[in-house]
Amino acid sequence: MIKAVIDTNVLLVANLQHPEVSPECVAECVRYLRDMQSKGVTVIDDGYRILGEYLNKTQLKPPKGVGDVFLKWLLQNASNPKHVEQVSITELAPDEFAEFPDQLLQPQFDAPDRKFAAVAHAHPDKPPVLQAADCKWLDWWQALRAQGIAVKFLCPDDACRFYRKKFPSQAVPALPDA
């Protein structure tokens, strides 16, 4: 069984809402979302911060993409522990969480992404955060891993390509072992 926290960009890539990703990246995100529906447990916060972000960035009526369909399924199963587990996180200030795994890293982290790491850290199993192509996570995964939180890059080639484009004067950080 797969258990994971899913960054919003996985849904957006599966919805074809990220035109710069590779077809392989889209296929991988679609595969993961379908696997999560059939044999996974998606971990979210009980304050619906993650679901709120998903709702804000996708379309449910009618659902147009695989990410939309996944969100609709997730909403229908939000209280079914066979498919969804919810944890509490404590918001100390907007987008700042007591459960964030590394308080020194938190200010460097994109504010909207902090909830994913906080949810993973608050869960007793410390599930990985599934990440599609947000290259900034390449700078963060090592500090998160040191706190017991894994980041699974579904599209490592795309993430590295975007990193080189966004930070041309910096070396691309190493990727985590698969």
Alpha helices in 87-155 (DSSP H): 114-122, 137-146
Joined tokens for residue 21: 């990703």
Asked if 13 and 26 touch (Cβ cutoff 8 Å), the reply is: yes
- Provide the residue count of the chain: 178
- Ordered mean pLDDT values, 10 residues apiece, the chain (178 residues): 95 94 98 97 97 92 89 95 97 97 94 98 98 95 96 97 95 86
pTM: 0.95
State the distance between the two ends of the chain, measured CA to CA, in whole angstroms: 17
Joined tokens for residue 174: 């190493």
pLDDT of residue 178: 54
pLDDT of residue 153: 97
Q: How far is CA 83 from CA 24, 41, 74, in A?
A: 26, 4, 8
Residue 23, Cβ density class (10 Å: 0-12 exposed, 13-18 middle, ≥19 buried):
exposed
Assign 3-state DSSP to the chain and report helix, strand, coil percentages, each to 5: 45, 15, 40
DSSP of 21-74: S-HHHHHHHHHHHHHHHHHEEEEEETT-HHHHHHHHHS-BTTB-SHHHHHHHHH
pLDDT of residue 64: 85
Top CATH class, 2-166: alpha beta
Joined tokens for residue 113: 């992404």
Beta bridge partners, 2, equal 40
